[in-house]
A and B are shown apart, each in its own frame.
Chain A
Amino acid sequence: MSATSAHLARPAFDRTLLLVLPATAFMFLLFVYPFLYGLALSFDPKEGGWLGNYKHFFTTDNQWPTIWTTLKLALPATLINVGFALPIAYKMRVKSRYQRWITTILVVPITLGTVLIAEGMLTYFGPKGWLSQFLQFAHLYDGPIRLTHNYWGVLISLVISGFPFAFLLILSYITGIDPVLARAASTLGANPKAQFRHIYLPLLAPGLAMCFCLAFVQAYSVFPSAVLLGSPAGPTRVISIAAYEAAFEQYDYSLASAIAMIMGFVQLIIVAAVLSLRNAFYRGPVSGGKG
């Protein structure tokens, strides 16, 4: 309503709109254009017809399984991260001194980034590291532990960097829900379990879906830890490694773009599935209205 009246009052062209131009131009030049360029390039392979790259990807034995390898890492990691983050964030929803402390501590692994986590894990989880020494010292497990240079190393690193991310995101959604709603439910006799089930969970659904998507995107594009902590030739040869090798080891930018497009497409399918699942839930305001 205010928009239309303002529109009528103002002259035909509003110069303020020009302020959005530099950012838009930048995004078109460096995000949209390269993306379209890559898409076009992927249909212009070094050899074969216009679908040559895609045919190559889906028929080569060390290429197409990378999709499953990536999903096998990314989906469990995302489920673990969101699954643990939700109950813990729910417990901490009430503002307290600890909330501030825990969030501060958890933000550290996020800012340190995957490369440093990889180096730390190589030192700490390695065969001569403190963890294996401790397990042997306490006689919990005497065999050699293998938590680096395989699937588990990468999964652990995804949890270390992804859990704090999921936790902080969910916490910021939960604290946005007005506690008055839960109090009203409790007045009507709902126990904490019912409050969570019938008040918080439906209100959180959009946030949870968003959090799942963002956490998934992070886990899905795993690159440094898959190389440093996994076995990049075998069980953790994820799709981003395949794309990187095509671009910077074979210098086949066309194939690399095709792999990047496939990567984006697979991710899009998962995100779309999650977001459509969310639509099955309640949609509405998360704060108590005045009415």
Chain B
Amino acid sequence: MAADIAKRPDDASPWFDRAWRGLLLGTMTLFVVNIGLMIAAVVTSSFAKRWLGTWLPEGWTTQWYTAAWKEFQLGSVLLVTVEVVFAVVALALTIGVPAAYTLARRDFVGKRFLMLLFLLPLMVPPITYGIPLATVLYKVQLAGTIYGVILANLIPAAPFVILVMTPFIEQIDPNLESAARVFGAGTGRMFWHVLVPLLAPGILAASLLVLVRTIALFELTFLTAGPDSQTLVVALYYAVFAAGVRAPQSVDAMAMVYMMVTLAWLLIALRFVNPTQLVSRVKEHPQPA
């Protein structure tokens, strides 16, 4: 219906309109095609025997994957990544969901201040607060350990959970909570038996979003990680950084491992969340059709 009206003939010349649409479509296609080719170039290179200045490599091999696995100790890096990511998701939910509940349901002095406090880490560049944070973590000897990395990654993750969960909680009818209280449930039981089941879709969305974002978060891990606590993205950075030392195919193989891990989780996440949620907060209410 809206589309029909938008397409209604109007005063603007059709020629200009068509050119404009073509330009937009062209830009978009160029952008997407180039990104596709960029990814394809990494894939091709990671399977290439020798690839110098030709369209396609001379032969194909999978040896770079075994080489990369050994050279970059991918086994232990993957293990660290999994530990960090799941710890961050679990902790962010543990402290984020109750806070989101209070912010969604109660009005209190200082609420605006708290909202600002939770919004700031998403607005300030990670390097700006990452460097003082790393300094403090070095002082208490947490930097360079996996605990330091987890704590650093929690700083953007916990506020993100709060921002994502608040609208979900606002949608739940407060009468359900009152009913639970009338039947004698305390806050804890009400939380577990009423809110958590109702919030399950929101919690799932929030954890997947945090998970995907944490895998890709580079700066904070980079500033706080030691040699044994690197996550995949930081290990990849060092591999690209020291590219002259190793065969480019081996770095590309590592990039592929990283890409596979990220894309796998992204595909899982996209089954449950809208792509725009990865960059912005959730819509408060479902759109009227």
Contact = CB atoms under 8 A, between A and B. Distances in A.
Interface of A: 3, 14-17, 19-20, 22-24, 26-27, 30-35, 37-39, 41, 84, 87-88, 91, 94, 102-125, 128-131, 133, 160, 163, 165, 168-169, 171-173, 175-176, 179, 182-183, 186, 191-193, 213-214, 217-218, 220-221, 223-224, 227-228, 240, 243-244, 247, 253, 256-257, 259-261, 263-264, 267, 271
A240 to B, nearest CB: 4
B207 interface: no
Contact of A15 (B2, B8, B187): B187
B262 interface: yes
A-B pairs with the 8 shortest C-beta distances? Answer: A38-B132, A221-B125, A23-B99, A19-B98, A113-B216, A191-B10, A3-B107, A103-B275
Contacts of A223: 127, 218-219, 222
B133 A34 contact: yes
B106 A14 contact: yes
B250 to A, nearest CB: 12
Interface in B13-51: 21, 24, 27-28, 31-32, 34-35, 37-39, 41-42, 45
B264 to A, nearest CB: 11
B135 A34 contact: yes
Interface stretch (B66-74, B82-90, B196-204, B279-287): B279-287
A213 B136 CA distance: 28
A179 B2 contact: yes
B114 interface: yes
Contact of A168 (B132, B255, B279): B279
B182 to A, nearest CB: 14
Contact of A256 (B11, B131, B217): B131
Given A94-B2, A128-B52, A183-B5, A20 B120 contact: no
A172 B283 contact: yes
Interface residues of B, number: 97
A116 B95 contact: no
A128 B263 CA distance: 27
Contacts of B21: 91
A17 B275 contact: no
B128 A267 contact: yes
B10 A34 contact: no
Contacts of B251: 119
Interface of B: 2-3, 5-6, 8, 10-12, 21, 24, 27-28, 31-32, 34-35, 37-39, 41-42, 45, 52-53, 55, 94-96, 98-99, 101-103, 105-108, 114, 117-118, 120-129, 131-136, 138, 151-152, 154-155, 158-159, 162, 187, 212, 215-219, 222-223, 233, 236-237, 240-241, 243, 248, 251-252, 255, 258-259, 262-263, 266, 270, 274-276, 278-280, 283, 287
A256 B275 contact: no
A207 to B, nearest CB: 9
Nearest to A117: B38
A16 B135 contact: no
Given A38-B131, A169-B276, A91 B24 contact: yes
Contacts of B52: 128
Nearest to B213: A111
B55 A133 contact: yes
A116 B215 CA distance: 12
B35 A108 contact: yes
B125 A217 contact: yes
B98 A176 contact: no
Given A22-B95, A221-B125, A247-B134, A27 B159 contact: yes
A123 B248 contact: yes
Contacts of A120: 38-39, 41-42, 255
Nearest to B138: A253
A30 B276 contact: no
A116 B259 CA distance: 8
21 contacts: A15-B187, A26-B95, A31-B117, A34-B136, A103-B274, A104-B275, A112-B259, A116-B258, A117-B38, A118-B240, A128-B52, A129-B41, A130-B37, A133-B55, A172-B283, A214-B279, A217-B124, A223-B219, A224-B218, A244-B223, A260-B128
Nearest to A264: B128
A5 B250 CA distance: 66
A213 B52 CA distance: 42
Contacts of B280: 168-169, 172-173
A228 B126 contact: no
Contacts of B274: 103
Contacts of A165: 279
A97 B108 CA distance: 44
Contact of A23 (B118, B252, B255): B118
Contact of B135 (A22, A117, A176, A257): A257
A120 B117 CA distance: 36
Given A111-B216, A217-B123, A192 B35 contact: no
Contacts of A117: 38
B124 to A, nearest CB: 6
A171 B274 CA distance: 12
Contacts of B32: 105-106
